Chain A
């Protein structure tokens, strides 16, 4: 099963907002409100940032928000900060107790 489709890279300036898209199919993103987003810094383990489409775990900044429409989920980071730089992965439940990740998006904060 192909990975969910994410842009390879996104660039933003400090203080700006950026949005990362994540496109799946009716077998995954489109069928379940079970999309999550992970942030990964170089050499580190991924960190959960968003779960169940738009819920933020305790401790995650309010600057991170997310939504879903049809087969596409989106992660928005507002008020970009240098520490937001890293790789971001979307993930969706895909039925039959399986999960699928997106290909990842490299966020650069210039």
Chain B
């Protein structure tokens, strides 16, 4: 069974950095893109970006560009999302989700498996 296991909740002060992990089990880590999605309390889903574990290339949404770094460690089958210079409005649940990369190299642009989410609270 494929599972995405995310790291636990974090409480951070404004201005610091948070790094969240997402461990993939039950599948080949490099067969999927890993996407990250933000959901603020009571709000909708917002796409933050993705990382391709095959080569480490990451694409970021304009809103988060400059503050977010997404990486993938193929030795531990774990993806990471680091968000710097935290603001109160970054308080949210952060989800990782997978999208299949087909054998021919084309990509599935839908998120078929999601982690349970990691709550990040930014508070002074």
Q: Does A18 contact B (CB under 8 A)?
A: no
B-chain residues with CB within 8 Å of residue A100 when the two chains form the complex: 47
Which residues does A use to contact B, with CB under 8 Å?
1, 3, 32, 34, 36, 38, 40, 45-48, 51-52, 57, 87, 89, 91, 93, 96-104
Residue of A nearest to B33 (CB): A97
In contact, B108 and A51 (Cβ under 8 angstroms): yes
A-chain residues with CB within 8 Å of residue B61 when the two chains form the complex: 98
A-chain residues with CB within 8 Å of residue B50 when the two chains form the complex: 97, 99
In contact, B46 and A101 (Cβ under 8 angstroms): yes
B-chain residues with CB within 8 Å of residue A57 when the two chains form the complex: 112
In contact, B44 and A93 (Cβ under 8 angstroms): no
In contact, A96 and B44 (Cβ under 8 angstroms): no
**Closest 5 A-B residue pairs measured CB to CB?**
A36-B110, A51-B110, A104-B44, A45-B114, A93-B109
How many chain B residues touch A (Cβ–Cβ < 8 Å)?
A: 23
In contact, A91 and B59 (Cβ under 8 angstroms): no
In contact, B45 and A101 (Cβ under 8 angstroms): yes
In contact, B108 and A3 (Cβ under 8 angstroms): no
Residue of B nearest to A93 (CB): B109
Q: Does B2 contact A (CB under 8 A)?
A: no
A-chain residues with CB within 8 Å of residue B117 when the two chains form the complex: 45
Give the Cβ gap from A93 to chain B, nearest Cβ, in Å.
Answer: 4
